[in-house]
Amino acid sequence: MAESRGKVYVVGLGPGDKAHLTERARAALAESEVIVGYRTYLGLIRELVAGKAVLASGMQQEVARAQEAVREAAAGRVVAVVCSGDPGIYGMAGLIYEVLREGGWQRQSGVEVEVVPGIPALSAAASLLGAPLMHDFAAISLSDLLTPWEVIARRLEAAAAADFVIVLYNPKSTQRVQQLDEAQRLLSRHRVPQTPVGIVRNAYRDGQQVVVTDLAHLLAHEVDMLTIVIIGNSTTRSCAGLMVTPRGYQAKYELAPSSRECSRGSPGQLASSKPD
C-alpha cells in the first residue's frame, strides 16, 4: 500500500476579523488535521479549529513551527500553518519552503504545499486610511532581527528619494525603540514635515486605532509591533481625516468636486476608531 502523501497549507488569516477570512482559507482549516501557529493568531480562529490537534508557540518560534509542520506532513498528515495577513508577505510561506529545501524536498514526490493568500496588513491599513496606496509604494520592515539595520536604512533612503509611498512593517517593539526615530530622520531628508502619515494599530481587531498625522508628528503617537505606518509621497493629501495618493486622473480628466478641498494633513487627526 502506497504511503500517504502529506500536505502543508500555509494559510493567511487576513487582518484578524473572520469576516475578512477567505473561503479557501476556511476550507483549508477544515481539511487540516493539525493546526500550527503563533498563539495570538490561533486565538483569532479558536472556534474554526476546535477538535483538531493544535500546536501553538510564542514569538520568535517561527523556525520551530515550520519544522514541526514539515515533520507532521512528512508523516502523512494534512497540516495548516497559520499566519496573519498574507503568508507570502513577511509570513511563513518562504520559511516553509526553506525548511523543505534543506531537507531535500522534491516538489513532485515530496509533501504537497499550498499557499493560501490572505488580505495583507498593508491593504487592511490602507482601507482604513482612505486610499494612500493608489500609486507606486514600497513596503519595508524596520525589524533588524534578521536584516542588518544598514541594509534597512539604505532601502528607506532609496525609497524616499524615489518618492515612493512607504509602508513600514514592524516599526517598533519593546526592545527596538530607535529604528522608527531613525526612519523618520532619514525620510525627513526627502519629505516635507507636513507629509501625511497614517498609523493603524490592530486593524479590524478589538482595540483598532486609526490616526492620520504628518511626518513631523509621527513619533508623538503610539506605535508597536501591531502597527502599520504609511508615509505619503509628494502628492499624497489628507481629506476629511483620510489619506489619498492621486493616481493622476486630475491631469487628464475634469473631476468634481475639485480636489482643492483637500490639503496636507493636520497633526494627530483621528480618522476612525473601533471600540474595545
Domain 7-119, what fold? Cobalt-precorrin-4 Transmethylase; domain 1 (3.40.1010)
Tell me the domain boundaries of the chain: 7-119, 122-273
Give pLDDT, residue 58.
85
What pTM was estimated for this model as a whole?
0.88
pLDDT at 174: 82
Provide the pLDDT for residue 274.
Answer: 52
For domain 122-273, the CATH superfamily is Tetrapyrrole methylase, C-terminal domain (3.30.950.10)
3-state secondary structure the chain: CCCCCCEEEEEECECCCHHHCCHHHHHHHHHCCEEEEEHHHHHHCHHHCCCCEEEEECCCCHHHHHHHHHHHHHCCCEEEEEECECCCCCCCHHHHHHHHHHCCCCCCCCCEEEEECCCCHHHHHHHHHEECCCCCEEEEECCCCCCCHHHHHHHHHHHHHCCCEEEEECCCCCCCCCHHHHHHHHHCCCCCCCCEEEEEECCCCCCCEEEEEEHHHHHHCCCCCCEEEEECCCCCEEECCEEECCCCHHHCCCCCCCHHHCECCCCCEEEEECCC
What is the crossing angle of helices 149-161 and 179-187, to 10°? 30
- What's the pLDDT score for residue 251? 64
- pLDDT per 10-residue tile (average), the chain, 276 residues: 77 93 97 95 92 90 95 96 96 96 90 97 97 97 94 98 97 89 97 97 94 97 95 95 85 62 55 50
